Structure 1
Amino acid sequence: MAGTRTANTSRSERTKAADERMIDRELEDLPAELRWREWMLRVEAVIFASAEPVTRETLVRVVGRACSIDLLIDDLREELRTRPYDIVAVAGGWQHRTRAAYGPVIRASAAPTRSGAASLSEHEAAVLMAIAYLQPVTRGELSKVFGKDVSRDTIGSLRDAGFLSSGPRSPTPGAPYTYVTTKQFLSVFGLETLRDLPDLERLEDAGLLSRQALAQDTTTEPDGDVLED
């Protein structure tokens, strides 16, 4: 079995290398305007076909050395300005996203979408939001924030959805594991980095999240969380 996987991996790498050799990245035989246009089409095709945000390192494989990815993306976004979708920077790469104005239309259509956020319950979404702002945070600390127990099932559902992973152990008694958000979280919620999260003070003013709950009691009881693979 291991030998088969190794052979398949080797074959895939050879195919990838052959494809890269077949692609004329520089396009020196084309006029500058047509060359730029072809690079735009290539980049858009890669982003459109990808199931996850496409990094700069990936895009440079299909364009010339003199090509500016940032300027190329700017031109693509300008062309899409009147379309219901855009190319946005998320999770360290770029991805096609439907414009927010068309969200109600898509929800009304009941069409299946690629977003995992739609399947979250209100409580799961609230817990995920708290983790995003307070990470790394333990389950016990989350329970203080919500004033009630945050179950292992809730954490497990968010982990299964790919939104959470285990962080470092907390320095509190019992050294419980903490939880942090993942690149999948950034991608699904359209964030390039955690710095793009809405302002925490506004959420506190709206009563949706409280940092004081963590500061009221610096002694955390062991919550018995264990790291799951």
Structure 2
Amino acid sequence: MSGPEAASTRRGRRSTSEDEVLLDRELADLPQELRWREWMLRVEAVIFASAEPVGRETLVRVVGKDCSIDLLINNLREELRGRPYEIVFVASGWQHRTHSRFAVPIRASQASTRRAAPALSDFEAMVLMAIAYFQPITRGDLSKIFGREISRDTIASLRNANFLASGPRSPTPGAPYTYVTTKQFLTAFGMDTLRELPDIEALEDAGLLSRKTVAAEATEPATEGEEE
């Protein structure tokens, strides 16, 4: 990189570094009440501006070292009571979210929205759910769960939505690829960790998923052409 573009990049890096140095995090010259208020506004601004959930380490960069992030977030949540949006903890970070009951009027407005999750077909959603529970899992084992071939197009659709990533190769014959869910999956479905998935026993009782099918058939040779 050279010329004006390189100069612009250097200026951008220098500006970011200068901001970090000049930012008064402690605000020791302010009364306690005003200091806390400024910290609240900073944290809310960072969360609002971010396209992804904001982690604790990121927020610590803009507040004093003795500031309680959890207490500050709780105060912000109290202030947002009665508003159509809230601050939620998903995928190991905080994010602004509109309440689900406003989803219909938002869609009806046809306004361009931020962080809109890609629309999935019912079958794609079911495949994604199976991957979430049984990951890392191969396409062949997914096909056994559903009793039909899971096409590469289905996997590609979920990958394009940034819900899936490649996992380790399976130790079964042929060493096929496995798939795992991503941080974006947690964010889109409002979860902090996979432990928040619904109880799998209830899904098995409903006949939607079967761990026995996977356990019994996972050691069979990989389906021809499964490797991607």
Q: Which residue of 1 aligns with 2:167?
A: 167
Question: Closer, same or farther in 2 for the Cα pair 1:83/1:154, shift >3 Å?
Answer: same
TM-score w.r.t. structure 2 length? 0.91
Distance (Å, rounded) in 2 between the aligned partners of 1:127 and 1:5: 45
Q: Which residue of 2 aligns with 1:78?
A: 78
Question: Closer, same or farther in 2 for the Cα pair 1:60/1:16, shift >3 Å?
Answer: same
- Shift of residue 218 of structure 1? 4.0
Q: Which runs of 5+ in 2 are unaligned?
A: none
The alignment status of 1:12 with 2:12, answered yes or no, reads: yes
Q: Which residue of 2 aligns with 1:151?
A: 151
What amino acid does structure 1 have at the position aligned with 2:68? S
Distance (Å, rounded) in 1 between the aligned partners of 2:50 and 2:128: 26
**Secondary structure of residue in 1 paired with 2:178:** strand
Distance (Å, rounded) in 2 between the aligned partners of 1:169 and 1:5: 41
Q: Which residue of 1 aligns with 2:201?
A: 201
What amino acid does structure 1 have at the position aligned with 2:195? R
TM-score w.r.t. structure 1 length? 0.90
Within a 5 Å distance, the mapping from 1:1-229 to structure 2 comes to: 1=1, 10-223=10-223, 224-226=225-227
Q: Residue by residue, what CA displacement relative to the aligned partner does 1:55-79 show, whole Å, maximum 9, x if unpaired?
A: 1111111111110111100110111
What amino acid does structure 2 have at the position aligned with 1:17? S
Question: Closer, same or farther in 2 for the Cα pair 1:116/1:125, shift >3 Å?
Answer: farther
**Secondary structure of residue in 1 paired with 2:217:** coil
Give the stretch that moved more between structures: 25-34 or 199-208: 199-208
**Secondary structure of residue in 2 paired with 1:201:** helix
Give the stretch that moved more between structures: 123-132 or 106-115: 106-115
**Secondary structure of residue in 2 paired with 1:125:** helix
**Secondary structure of residue in 2 paired with 1:207:** coil
**Sequence identity percentage:** 68
**Secondary structure of residue in 2 paired with 1:88:** strand
Question: Closer, same or farther in 2 for the Cα pair 1:155/1:216, shift >3 Å?
Answer: same
Distance (Å, rounded) in 1 between the aligned partners of 2:120 and 2:109: 19
Tell me, yes or no, if the aligned pair for 2:167 and 2:177 is still in contact at 8 Å.
yes
Give the stretch that moved more between structures: 199-208 or 42-51: 199-208
Q: Which runs of 5+ in 1 are unaligned?
A: none
Distance (Å, rounded) in 1 between the aligned partners of 2:167 and 2:81: 40
- Shift of residue 13 of structure 1? 2.8
What amino acid does structure 2 have at the position aligned with 1:40? M
Q: Residue by residue, what CA displacement relative to the aligned partner does 1:106-145 show, whole Å, maximum 9, x if unpaired?
A: 3444444445545111111111111001000000000011
Question: Closer, same or farther in 2 for the Cα pair 1:75/1:218, shift >3 Å?
Answer: same
Tell me, yes or no, if the aligned pair for 1:116 and 1:161 is still in contact at 8 Å.
no
Distance (Å, rounded) in 1 between the aligned partners of 2:218 and 2:21: 59
What is the CA RMSD across the aligned residues, in angstroms? 2.1
